[in-house]
A and B are shown apart, each in its own frame.
Chain A
C-alpha cells in the first residue's frame, strides 16, 4: 500500500488501512532503535523543522530523536526564543519557513486548527504534534501501537479514558483513532470536564470511573492540571485523587490483563498513585519508547516512504 497523505493533522483524516500501515512501519522502526548503531540513512538530505509554539520537552525530544535516527537534518524553533516567530502571525511564520524549503514541519501549537492552517499554506508535509484541545495524532498512534503490541489487535478492545476529557487533545484523538480500529471507547471524569457533544466522536460516557474501568482492556489516565480550579472545574487535588484517581484500591477489580497508560507527564498522587504508575499493569514507559518509533514511521511515510529503510 502506498501512503498518500501529505500531512498528519488529526486521526479523522486517517483510514483504518493507513493507520495499520503506520503501525506496521513503526514496528520495523522500533527495531532500528534497538540496534547498537541506531541510525539509518533513509532521510539523508531531508530537512525537518520542529516548530514548537507551545513548550514541550518530551514530544519535541521524541521527534528530534526520530528525525536523527533517520539521518534527517533537524532544526527546532520555539515561539519563546525565536525572533522568527516573535510578534509575527502564524501565516507569516509559515511563509518564512516555506521559503527555506523544509521537507517536514512538525508543529505544536496552543490553538486548535493551527496545523491545518499551516498545511493549507505550505508545500512541506505538516505533522501535528498537538494543537490546542483538538488533536494529538502521534500520541494516539503510539498509544495504539502500545496496545497492539501487548494485545495483538485493537478490534473489540475496551479503552477507558479517565479525567479531564474537555481539555484533552489526547482523549479526542484516541476516541477517533481507537473507534476507527474497532475498539470501544468509554470516558469518565468529573461532569465539569466532559464536554457536551463528545459522544459524536464515537465514545460512550460512563456514569463513574469504576463503571468505566471494570471491564476495560486499557485504562488511560489523563493529566489533571491544577489551574483548572480557576474555571471551577474541580475542587481540590485531594478530592480529585480520591474520586477520580487511579489508586491501588481502585484497581482491585480490574481485568488481570489490563494495561494502564498515561500520556505523561504524570502527577503522582493526583490522577494516578505511585504504586499504580510503577506497578505491573503500567505500560507508561513502553508508550514513550513507541513514541520514537511512531514518529520515525510518520517522518518516513510522509516524505515518500519509498527508499528501503531497512537496508543498512
Chain B
C-alpha cells in the first residue's frame, strides 16, 4: 500500500522547508518530491500511489513527539489506558509519546516495560516509548534495572511524580544511565520546601488561603541536577520547567556548555496562578502555575532555545480525584489534545516561528531521545498534517482521553492537527 501526501508545505526544520509531496510505501517514506535549496524541482508524477492525500494548504511536519505523558496503565485504567491515551495523542498530532513510570505496579523492570509496549502495539495508534523508574518502586532507595528496561524498550529513566531526593542516588543514576544508554529525566522539587503546598506561593495563594509552593522548590533542585550534570558529564533533561529562576539556571548552564536540556508544558506558557481563582482544581498541577513574570520567562526561554522541548505532562485524573476540595485534589492536567493549538498560539503571538515550534514539539525531543524522525527516504512514515487556519472551541467532553481535567475547556483556539500518520497508517484524520 502506497500513499502520496500531495501539495502541502513540507516543514522539517533543518531538512526541508518547501512545497512538495511525500510518497509513503508501507510503513516507510519512499521518496520526497520537492524543490528547495536551489535544487531543481522533482515531480511526483512518476509515482503511482494507491491513495492520494490532498495536503494543499496544510503544513506537513514530522510526527509530533510528546516526551512526557502519564498513561496510567497498568493500575489506574479508569483514568486512562494506553489505548485511550494513544488515541488522544493521535488526535493531537502526536505519533510518539513517552510514558512515565508512576503506574501501579511501577515501571521499574522489563516485564512492565514489555507489558506497556505490547498494549501499545495492540492499540496501534501511537509509538509509545516507556520511561522506566530511576529507583525501584519510585522509593528512592535502590537503582532499578536500567539495562533490563533498556533492552525491553525503555528510552529514559525518571522518578517523575516525585523527585530523586538523595543526591548520591541522582549522581549514580546519571552515571549508571550512561552505561545503559538511557536519558535521565528529572522532576525537580525540594519536598521540604514545597511541604503542604497546593499552588504557587504568592498573592493568589495569600488571598485564597492556600499553602504556597515557592519557585525555589523547583529551582534549587534544578541547580543541583545541573551541578551533577557538570560533575558527571551525563546529559540530564529537566522536566516541566515552570519558574523563572529555573529558566535562568538552565540558560547559564547551557552557556557554560553543560549538557542539560529542558522542557516546559503548554499550561506554563499559557496560564498563570490566577487560573486557580475559584478553587479550580483543573488548574492544579505540580509544579504549580506561576506568575506572569514566570510565564514570560518560560516564553523567553522557549524563544531563545534555553527550553528545548514542549511536552504536556498529560496527567489524566477522573472526577473522583478532581471534584473534591482544592487541597485534596490530585495534581495534574491533560494536554495531548490541546498542546499543538496552544503552541501555535505562541507562533501567532510572534514568540516562536512555526519552524521553532516544530523543533520544540518534534525535532528536539527526537534529538534528545536519539530517534530518527527526519522526513527522508527510508525513515518511518510518522507524519502530521497541520491546518493553521482551523478554529475550534475546546470541548473536554469530546476528548478522546478518558479524562476531562483540562484548564482550557471552552477556549477558542486556532490551528490544529488534521491528519496523523504513524508508520504509514492514518491514525487520525479530520481533513
Beta-carbon contacts under 8 Å, B274-312 to A: 278-279
CB neighbours (8 Å) of B206 from chain A are 172, 195-198, 200-201
Residue of B nearest to A165 (CB): B206
CB neighbours (8 Å) of B208 from chain A are 112-113, 134
- A 209-253 binary contact with B (CB < 8 Å = 1; else 0): 000000000000000000000010000000000000000000000
Beta-carbon contacts under 8 Å, B59-98 to A: none
Assess the B324–A90 pair: CB atoms within 8 A. Answer: yes
Assess the A112–B210 pair: CB atoms within 8 A. Answer: yes
Beta-carbon contacts under 8 Å, B130-166 to A: none
Assess the A197–B205 pair: CB atoms within 8 A. Answer: yes
CB neighbours (8 Å) of A91 from chain B are 323-324
Q: CA of A245 to CA of B290 in the docked complex: distance in angstroms? A: 35
Residue of B nearest to A176 (CB): B207
CB neighbours (8 Å) of B17 from chain A are none
Query: A111 at the A/B interface (Cβ < 8 Å)?
Result: yes
Chain B residues in contact with chain A, CB under 8 A? 195-196, 201-212, 214, 278-279, 320, 323-328
CB neighbours (8 Å) of B195 from chain A are 231
Query: A116 at the A/B interface (Cβ < 8 Å)?
Result: yes
Q: CA of A198 to CA of B203 in the docked complex: distance in angstroms? A: 6
CB neighbours (8 Å) of A132 from chain B are 209-210, 327
A196 touching B278 in the complex, CB below 8 Å, given contacts A90-B325, A117-B325, A201-B206 = no
Interface of chain B: mostly helix, strand, loop or mixed: loop
Q: CA of A111 to CA of B203 in the docked complex: distance in angstroms? A: 18
Query: A114 at the A/B interface (Cβ < 8 Å)?
Result: yes
5 more A-B residue pairs beyond the given contacts A111-B325, A112-B209, A201-B207, with a C-beta to C-beta distance below 8 A: A89-B320, A90-B325, A113-B210, A113-B326, A195-B205
What distance in Å separates the Cβ of B428 from its nearest Cβ neighbour in chain A?
Answer: 34
Assess the A133–B201 pair: CB atoms within 8 A. Answer: no
When A and B form their complex, which 4 residue pairs have the shortest distance between CB atoms, in order from nearest? A113-B279, A134-B209, A111-B325, A197-B203
CB neighbours (8 Å) of A116 from chain B are 278-279
Residue of A nearest to B325 (CB): A111
Q: CA of A171 to CA of B211 in the docked complex: distance in angstroms? A: 15
Beta-carbon contacts under 8 Å, A161-213 to B: 169, 172, 195-198, 200-201
Q: CA of A169 to CA of B208 in the docked complex: distance in angstroms? A: 10
CB neighbours (8 Å) of B202 from chain A are 196-197
Q: CA of A116 to CA of B207 in the docked complex: distance in angstroms? A: 14
CB neighbours (8 Å) of A105 from chain B are none
Partner of A89, one of B203, B209, B323: B323
Residue of A nearest to B203 (CB): A197
Assess the A114–B212 pair: CB atoms within 8 A. Answer: no
Query: A135 at the A/B interface (Cβ < 8 Å)?
Result: yes
CB neighbours (8 Å) of B328 from chain A are 111
Q: CA of A112 to CA of B326 in the docked complex: distance in angstroms? A: 7
Query: A109 at the A/B interface (Cβ < 8 Å)?
Result: yes
Q: CA of A197 to CA of B201 in the docked complex: distance in angstroms? A: 8
A197 touching B325 in the complex, CB below 8 Å, given contacts A113-B279, A172-B209 = no
CB neighbours (8 Å) of B204 from chain A are 197
What distance in Å separates the Cβ of B41 from its nearest Cβ neighbour in chain A?
Answer: 60
CB neighbours (8 Å) of B324 from chain A are 89-91
CB neighbours (8 Å) of B214 from chain A are 196
What distance in Å separates the Cβ of B414 from its nearest Cβ neighbour in chain A?
Answer: 31
Residue of B nearest to A112 (CB): B209
CB neighbours (8 Å) of B323 from chain A are 89, 91
What distance in Å separates the Cβ of A9 from its nearest Cβ neighbour in chain B?
Answer: 11
Residue of B nearest to A116 (CB): B279
CB neighbours (8 Å) of B320 from chain A are 89
